[in-house]
Amino acid sequence: DTAVSQTPKYLVTQMGNDKSIKCEQNLGHDTMYWYKQDSKKFLKIMFSYNNKELIINETVPNRFSPKSPDKAHLNLHINSLELGDSAVYFCASSPEGVEQFFGPGTRLTVL
Partner 1 sequence: RKEVEQDPGPFNVPEGATVAFNCTYSNSASQSFFWYRQDCRKEPKLLMSVYSSGNEDGRFTAQLNRASQYISLLIRDSKLSDSATYLCVVSRGGGKLIFGQGTELSVKP
Residues near partner 1 (CB under 8 A): 31, 33, 40-45, 48, 50, 55-56, 90, 94, 97-100, 102-105
Nearer to partner 1, 67 or 104 (CB): 104
The DSSP symbol for 93 reads E
Residue 83, helix vs strand vs coil: helix
Q: How far is the CB of 71 from partner 1 (least distance, A)?
A: 14
* CB 77, min distance to partner 1, A: 21
Q: Cβ closer to partner 1: 80 or 95?
A: 95
What phi and psi values does residue 96 have, to the nearest 5 degrees?
Answer: -135, 20
Q: Please say whether the beta carbons of 92 and 30 come within 8 A.
A: no
φ/ψ of 99, rounded to 5, equals: -65, 130
Using alpha carbons, select from 8, 30, 19, 26 the residue that is nearest to residue 95.
30
Tell the smallest beta-carbon distance from residue 31 to partner 1 (Å): 6
Q: Pick the closer one to partner 1 by CB: 14 or 59.
A: 59
